Amino acid sequence: MRSFIVVCVLTLSFLLPTRAALAFQPPQHPHPSQTVTPQPDESTLREHGHYQNVDGKLVRSPAHTVRHFVPNGASAKCEDGSYSFSLHRQGTCSHHGGVAQWL
C-alpha cells in the first residue's frame, strides 16, 4: 500500500504544473498598429521631411546621414546613399534610384 501511495504522489507531481510553470506567461506581441518604429536622431540627418504612406501613417522621408552610419529605424539604403524609413517594400527608394540594400 505504501509503494502504491508513493507511486501516485510521484505521478501526480509530474502531472501538476509547477509554480514556475504557473508563473510563466508567453511574451505578448503588440498588434502591428501598436508597434512603434524607432526614430532616428534628427541631428544626424541632412534632410528632415515626412510623407503620409498608404496606411495613412506619417513616415520619415529618405535622408542622407551627416556621418556614414545606419540611422535608427532605417529599412533600406537607397542607390543615392540615402536611408529609407519605409514601412512597406513597394515604392521604397522610388525617387532615390531604387533600393541598394534592405536592412
Which pLDDT tens digit goes with each residue over 2-21? 565 545 555 555 555 555 55
The pLDDT value recorded for residue 82 is 95
d(CA 54, CA 33) in angstroms, rounded, equals: 14
Q: Where are the alpha helices (DSSP H) in 2-51?
A: 2-15, 19-23
Helix then strand then coil, % of the chain, to nearest 5: 25, 15, 60
The pLDDT of residue 100 is above 80: yes
Cα three-residue angle 44-47-49, rounded to 5 degrees: 120
Specify the pTM: 0.63
Show the cell assigned to 54. Answer: 498608404
The string of pLDDT tens digits covering residues 57-92 is 999 999 999 988 899 999 999 999 999 999 999 999
